[in-house]
């Protein structure tokens, strides 16, 4: 799984109904919207989406299409510069994903938007096709926005889009790119003096000789009757958030202006908060590894179904069929537990409640046992792979390598057999659930039978393939018999129940 973040900016910050329509378009795909920031003064919304890159391209494309249908730039007014209904779409690599992958996503999305929606697309950041478009302010700025682009796009080669037509419709143009994580950070000032705000912004931004990696603009905030220094921190590791805040604060105070508040727009990496903690509490040895939730989230990420499916669908040999069979069996056992739970205490099922409690308990235990079998199967294969990589230069090394391989092959056989054995035992509970369990959940029992029987057969395929490589004849004969017996037993149990499935 290639995990990425995408932070599309839409030119609408007042109408929640419109933004919800855009979010609903994103949610048609298996990605997660984790944050939505709407700003009325800027008339702009920043949405943070995370997920697999391929799904992300489809989701963001649909959102751009929806935004083009409901946002008309000819009637849009706001403090923030903008080119289009969907103004900027950056892809950001996460959890080891390569930046080159995000570049490929940006270009793929850009081509689709240009060709299928007829919206001009400008590539920026790491995805820029021409050097002078690498920096976002070089494409769009407070002095060059939708209105100026209307004429320039067809007359000035500098503003010829990378994809799409050389003309603008009411949806404007979209800027799509790839970059590292950026922090949108604002500091509000207790003053309506826009001239001072713009001076402070100029002193702060890198392009005017200020702080490295900082972009800054000064705005009026009509709702609060204040001004704002709106900033993008393009490399928070080199120029930390507290450093930027203190710089703006000093510049404001030197003009007799007090800071009202600061604001993080969208999401922020945990490491950035670590720097704030270190700066203000002077705790130089602090590490994000000391944060409890971070450790727990690492465990959740590793164990998530989405993470598992990403691993399973990759080109790595493990996890494979044996591990997947265990997961399918765990789902079958979970359904057995569910149906038993739906029967306990229900009117008309009082006589079987005690038996159902026993089934529920046994099935719950089997769920986690089978879940762990999925991990054991992957580890057994990994151990076998390590044995295959052992040196074989000398006769002694060859002998040791062969011994290890045979030992690991036996382990890789025993694990899926154990999976099948645990799974098949769950079928013993199915007849009573069909006959006396909650009738409204009968379909779930049949699903459980199908899952469990398929898991047994899948596990035995892994037993079979390993037996063909094992030299210990006694072990092979023993497991061939065990395998055949378990397959026959499972078939007998399941077929007697499934033959009534469609009656």
- CA dist 189 and 198 (Å) reads 12
Residue 295, pLDDT score:
72
List of residues 6+ apart from 195 with CB closer than 8 A: none
Residue 1, pLDDT score:
65
Residues 255 and 196 sit within 8 Å (Cβ to Cβ): yes
So which residues are the catalytic ones?
Answer: 80
- Spell 459-481 as b/e; 16+ CB within 10 A means b: bbbbbbebbeebeeeebbeebee
Phi and psi for 353 in degrees, rounded to 5? -60, -45
CA dist 309 to 154, 234, 323, Å? Answer: 47, 33, 11
Place of tokens 């999305």: 109
Residue 292, pLDDT score:
77
The tokens of 376 are what? 């054991």
Q: Is 90 exceeded by the pLDDT of residue 77? A: yes
Angle among Cα 260, 266, 269 to the nearest 5 degrees reads: 100
Residue 301, pLDDT score:
61
Residue 181, pLDDT score:
86
pLDDT band, residue 96 (cuts 50/70/90): confident
Residue 303, pLDDT score:
63
pLDDT in tens, 369-400: 998 899 899 999 999 999 999 999 999 999 99
Nearest to 373 by CA among 412, 427, 338, 335: 412
- CA dist 228 and 40 (Å) reads 13
* Section 170-198 average pLDDT: 94
Residue 300, pLDDT score:
65
The tokens of 287 are what? 């590490």
- CA dist 198 and 339 (Å) reads 65
Residues 2 and 313 sit within 8 Å (Cβ to Cβ): no
Max intra-chain CA distance, the chain: 89
Q: Is 90 exceeded by the pLDDT of residue 74? A: yes
- CA dist 310 and 302 (Å) reads 11
The tokens of 250 are what? 């000093």
Which helix (H) or strand (E) segment holds residue 490: the answer is helix 473-498
Higher pLDDT, 501 or 129: 129
* Section 16-44 average pLDDT: 93
pLDDT in tens, 348-363: 999 999 999 999 999 9
Three-state secondary-structure class, residue 228: strand
pLDDT > 90 in the chain, percent:
78
Which helix (H) or strand (E) segment holds residue 446: the answer is helix 442-467
Residue 494: exposure state from Cβ atoms within 10 A (0-12, 13-18, ≥19): buried
pLDDT in tens, 212-261: 999 999 999 988 999 999 999 988 888 999 999 999 999 999 999 999 99
Neighbour order of strands in the sheet with 226-233: 214-221, 226-233, 183-189, 259-265
- For residue 163, give the DSSP letter: B
The tokens of 479 are what? 């497991």
Q: Cβ–Cβ contacts within 10 Å for residue 203, how many?
A: 18
- CA dist 20 and 10 (Å) reads 12
Residue 235, pLDDT score:
87
Q: Which CATH number fits domain 3-178: 1.10.3330.10, 3.30.990.10, 3.30.70.890, 3.30.230.80?
A: 3.30.990.10
Residue 467, pLDDT score:
96
Residues in a beta bridge with 163: 121
- For residue 37, give the DSSP letter: E
Residue 293, pLDDT score:
72
pLDDT in tens, 389-438: 999 999 999 999 999 999 999 999 999 999 999 999 999 999 999 999 99
* Section 75-97 average pLDDT: 93
List of residues 6+ apart from 290 with CB closer than 8 A: none
Instruction: Work out the end-to-end distance of the chain between its first and last CA atoms, rounded to an integer number of angstroms.
Output: 42
- For residue 123, give the DSSP letter: E
List of residues 6+ apart from 28 with CB closer than 8 A: 59, 62
pLDDT in tens, 293-351: 777 766 666 667 777 777 888 888 889 999 999 999 999 999 999 999 999 999 999 99
Fold of 316-498: 1.20.120
pLDDT band, residue 274 (cuts 50/70/90): confident
Residues 67 and 171 sit within 8 Å (Cβ to Cβ): yes
Pairing outcome for strands 9-10 and 86-93: antiparallel
- CA dist 181 and 53 (Å) reads 16
* Helix boundaries (H) for 389-441: 395-426, 430-436
Average pLDDT, the chain: 92
Residue 404, pLDDT score:
95
Report DSSP letters for 469-488, one per residue.
T---HHHHHHHHHHHHHHHH
The verdict on domain 183-287 having CATH code 3.30.70.670 is yes
Residue 299, pLDDT score:
66
* Section 24-43 average pLDDT: 91
Any idea where the domains of the chain sit in the sequence? Answer: 3-178, 183-287, 316-498
Residue 494, pLDDT score:
93
Nearest to 216 by CA among 190, 188, 191, 185: 185
List of residues 6+ apart from 87 with CB closer than 8 A: 9, 10, 11, 44, 140, 172, 174, 175
- For residue 144, give the DSSP letter: B
Q: Is 70 exceeded by the pLDDT of residue 502? A: yes
Higher pLDDT, 179 or 289: 179
pTM equals 0.58
Place of tokens 């009573």: 432
């Amino acid at each position: 799984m290639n995990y990425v973040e995408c932070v599309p900016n839409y030119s609408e910050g007042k109408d929640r109904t419109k933004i919800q329509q855009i979010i609903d378009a994103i949610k048609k795909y298996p990605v997660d919207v984790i944050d939505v920031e709407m700003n009325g003064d800027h008339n702009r919304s920043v949405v943070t989406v995370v997920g697999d890159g391929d799904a992300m391209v489809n989701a963001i494309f649909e959102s751009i299409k929806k935004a083009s249908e409901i946002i008309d730039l000819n009637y849009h007014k706001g403090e923030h510069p903008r080119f289009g209904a969907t103004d900027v779409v950056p892809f950001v690599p996460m959890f080891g994903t390569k930046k080159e992958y995000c570049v490929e996503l940006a270009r793929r999305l850009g081509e689709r938007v240009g060709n299928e929606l007829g919206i001009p697309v400008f590539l920026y950041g790491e995805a820029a096709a021409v050097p002078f478009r690498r920096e976002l302010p070089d494409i769009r700025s407070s002095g060059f926005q939708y209105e100026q682009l209307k004429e320039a796009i067809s007359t000035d080669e500098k503003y010829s889009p990378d994809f799409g037509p050389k003309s603008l419709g009411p949806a404007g143009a979209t800027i799509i790119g790839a970059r590292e994580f950026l922090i949108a950070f604002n500091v509000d000032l207790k003053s309506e003096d826009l001239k001072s705000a713009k001076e402070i912004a100029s002193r702060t931004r890198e392009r005017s000789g200020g702080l490295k990696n900082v972009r800054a603009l000064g705005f009026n905030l009509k709702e609060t009757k204040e001004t704002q220094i709106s900033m993008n921190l393009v490399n928070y590791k080199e120029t930390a958030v507290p450093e930027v805040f203190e710089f703006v604060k000093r510049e404001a105070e030197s003009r007799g202006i007090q800071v009202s508040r600061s604001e993080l727009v969208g999401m922020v990496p945990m490491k950035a908060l670590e720097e704030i903690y270190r700066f203000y509490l002077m705790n130089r040895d602090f590490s994000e590894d000391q944060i409890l939730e971070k450790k727990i989230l690492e465990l959740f990420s590793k164990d998530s179904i989405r993470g598992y499916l990403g691993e399973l669908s990759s080109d790595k040999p493990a996890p494979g069929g044996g591990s997947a069979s265990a997961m399918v069996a765990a789902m079958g056992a979970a359904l057995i537990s569910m149906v038993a739970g739906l029967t306990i205490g229900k009117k008309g099922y009082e006589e079987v409640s005690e038996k159902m409690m026993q089934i529920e308990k046994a099935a719950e235990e089997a769920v986690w046992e089978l879940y762990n079998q999925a991990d054991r199967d992957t580890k057994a294969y990994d151990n076998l792979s390590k044995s295959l990589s052992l040196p074989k230069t000398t006769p002694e090394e060859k002998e040791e390598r062969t011994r290890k391989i045979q030992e690991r092959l036996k382990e890789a056989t025993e694990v899926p057999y154990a999976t099948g054995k645990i799974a098949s035992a769950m079928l013993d509970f199915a007849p009573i659930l069909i006959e006396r369990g909650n009738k409204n959940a009968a379909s779930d029992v049949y699903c459980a039978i199908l899952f469990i029987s398929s898991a047994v057969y899948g596990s035995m395929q892994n037993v079979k393939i390993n037996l063909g490589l094992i030299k210990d004849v006694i072990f092979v004969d023993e497991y061939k018999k065990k395998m055949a017996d378990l397959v026959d037993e499972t078939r007998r149990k399941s077929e007697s129940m499934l033959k009534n499935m469609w009656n």
